[in-house]
Amino acid sequence: MLAATGFVRGAVTPLGLPHPMRILADESVFVPAEISIGSGVRGIAIILKPTDLQSALGQFEIGKFAV
């Protein structure tokens, strides 16, 4: 994790990655009115609306990835 993203496991965020990488998002992520994502610091999260996350991510793929 750290070598690829610059973030430790448990703190990985799709925002501010050190270089472009493929981002996959399960479709269930965008169902709740608010969601919590990693901030880049373990124990601190970012709370936002799914539409705001979609705007912030730019290019990403939505699919059925969760089991």
pLDDT tens for 18-63 read 999 999 999 999 999 999 999 999 999 999 999 999 999 989 999 9
For 46, the domain range is 2-63
DSSP secondary-structure letter at 20? -
pLDDT at residue 6 in the model: 87
pLDDT at residue 65 in the model: 93
CA distance linking residue 3 with residue 59, whole number of Å: 22
CA distance linking residue 41 with residue 31, whole number of Å: 25
Instruction: Report yes or no on whether pTM surpasses 0.85.
Output: no
Q: In 3D, which of 48, 21, 45 has the Cα closest to residue 35?
A: 48
CATH number, position 42: 3.90.960.10
Query: Which residues, listed in sequence order, are joined to residue 62 by a DSSP beta bridge?
Result: 25
Helix (H, G, I), strand (E, B) or coil at 31: coil
User: Is residue 1 predicted with pLDDT exceeding 80?
Assistant: no
Q: How many independent structural domains does the chain possess?
A: 1
